[in-house]
Amino acid sequence: MVINIQPDEIGSIIRKQIEGYVPRMRVVNVGTVLQVGDGIARIHGLDEVMAGELVEFEDGTVGIASNLESDNVGAVSTGDGRTIQEGGSVRATGKIAQIPVSESFLGRVVNALAQPIDGKGQIPASEFRSIESPAPGIISRRSVYEPLQTGLIAIDSMIPIGRGQRELIIGDRQTGKTAVATDTILNQKGQKVICVYVAIGQKASSVAQVVDTFRERGALEYTIVVSETANSPATLQYLAPYTGAALAEYFMYRQEHTLIVYDDLSKQAQAYRQMSLLLRRPPGREAYPGDVFHLHSRLLERAAKLSSQLGEGSMTALPIVETQAGDVSAYIPTNVISITDGQTFLSADLFNAGIRPAINVGISVSRVGSAAQIKAMKQVAGKLKLELAQFAELEAFAQFASDLDKTTQNQLARGQRLRELLKQSQSTPLSVEEQVATIYTGVNGYLDISNVEQVKRFLAQLREYVVTSKPNFGEIIRSTKVSTEQAEVLLKEAIKEATELFLLQDR
């Protein structure tokens, strides 16, 4: 069968195609690698690249444009950069660094690019957030007024943390900074608080230990772990806290409460210094670049208590900073202290003396104060602060005095028992009603009859007795947030009965 096609028909078809043709232009911004080394690439030809834009190298490695100079662009690689070659092409993507976000991230361990590293497969996500987002403005915020219970008596009674606050945890290495932060995460079980733990430059074994603790205690189901270990590229260690903040913000703007721990910002600053020096930026104090303050301020300002119009979601930040030999006047510690709403100082001397958590109550402070405490806690905490302050003064004086009057001896004995009361084992956070019962027992002299060595054991038994025999006490504190007369009567009965039982056991 032969089909005869007329030339006129072919001409009309071609004419229609030409008339209906819409020109499509695709402009691709491409440059060439001039020099590469130590994870830094100098690129020529990327004329219209944005600061912080993602660029893609020929081998598929992704970089971030950091230095925009007149004749070249300095980009930092998010990989090890070993397969990037001089003379290779680089393509600008037109995107600022962003990560996928969704509820599916809960219970997962991810890296600074929000890619899973726990071997449990891909994480489904339909939304994206920029790693660097602007912090909520003044109108978008409201004052901190709700408590965020850490489960640690020393903090919740004297250095209270509120939802939306930024409380710095500062101290020398090996003083229990991570333990304080992880205990706070464990205590959020059942409190409807989503937690994000960001590990920056930590040993992989330490991160694995923290994840195991969360899994064993059922905390992983409401926690996201963002980890960039010590062998990760400096770029990823620098990005990890921003990734954690973006994940926490996703939940905050959905009217939920979040808690984020940055462990620790000293290592992020060191990674940023390494990056900046390799990019040949001018060094400042302690060889840190001039914008190291902005590095932390733009991160920590994202923590906020949102206004009623925005749904009252909150993001509470617990940044950790490591000091050298207790020097809080070093560059990074002073920077972060000036940005945060208070600091919890952990002392190596107290830690070595067996006082754990090793919180130095004298120089620790919360700038939110009692606004972040329930009334029941305020009723007992004021007296505890006063007693401990007087004890610290007397203890220093008593070292030089040979004979002390009876009142002074009693005050010293009370102070020793109160200090014992603040000691807590790791991973044993206490509920607010247990804390109120514990502090009430100490400040009202009910511990004075027992030896200092017995205080911890007696209090553990008392708390157990209150929970099992006087459940109404806990219900009153939880529902009314006030230590009512009825609650006080129940507590006094519990203390009396528990003391009798304790004395019977010791006979």
Domains detected in the chain: 30-96 (2.40.30.20), 100-373 (3.40.50.300), 377-506 (1.20.150.20)
385 vs 155: CA distance, rounded Å: 11
Q: Say if residue 189's pLDDT is above 70.
A: yes
* pTM assigned to the model: 0.91
Q: Say if residue 9's pLDDT is above 80.
A: no
Tens-digit pLDDT profile for residues 88-136: 999 999 899 899 999 999 999 999 999 999 999 999 998 999 999 999 9
Find out whether 175 is annotated in a ligand binding site. yes
182 vs 43: CA distance, rounded Å: 43
Q: Say if residue 2's pLDDT is above 60.
A: no
Rg over CA atoms, the chain: 29
User: Taking the chain, what is the end-to-end CA distance rounded to the nearest angstrom?
Assistant: 115
**Average pLDDT of span 453-474:** 91
Find out whether 163 is annotated in a ligand binding site. no
Per-residue confidence (pLDDT) for residue 401, from 0 to 100: 64
Active site (catalytic) residues: 367
**Average pLDDT of span 231-250:** 96
Mean pLDDT of the chain: 91
Find out whether 173 is annotated in a ligand binding site. yes
Find out whether 178 is annotated in a ligand binding site. yes
Of the candidates 30, 56, 84, 77, the one whose C-alpha atom is nearest the C-alpha of residue 278 is 77
Per-residue confidence (pLDDT) for residue 292, from 0 to 100: 96
Tens-digit pLDDT profile for residues 78-87: 988 888 999 9
Scanning 195-307, the segments in alpha helix (DSSP H) are: 204-216, 234-252, 265-278, 292-300
**Average pLDDT of span 146-151:** 94
Find out whether 177 is annotated in a ligand binding site. yes
166 vs 162: CA distance, rounded Å: 9
Residue type, 45: G
Residue type, 394: L
Tell me the CA distances in angstroms from 318 to 177, 191, 253, 261, 315, one per residue in order: 10, 17, 19, 5, 10
Find out whether 349 is annotated in a ligand binding site. no
Q: Say if residue 432's pLDDT is above 80.
A: yes
Q: Say if residue 3's pLDDT is above 90.
A: no
Tens-digit pLDDT profile for residues 294-309: 999 999 999 999 999 9
**DSSP secondary structure code for residue 98 in this structure:** E
Per-residue confidence (pLDDT) for residue 507, from 0 to 100: 64
Cβ(115)–Cβ(342) below 8 Å: no
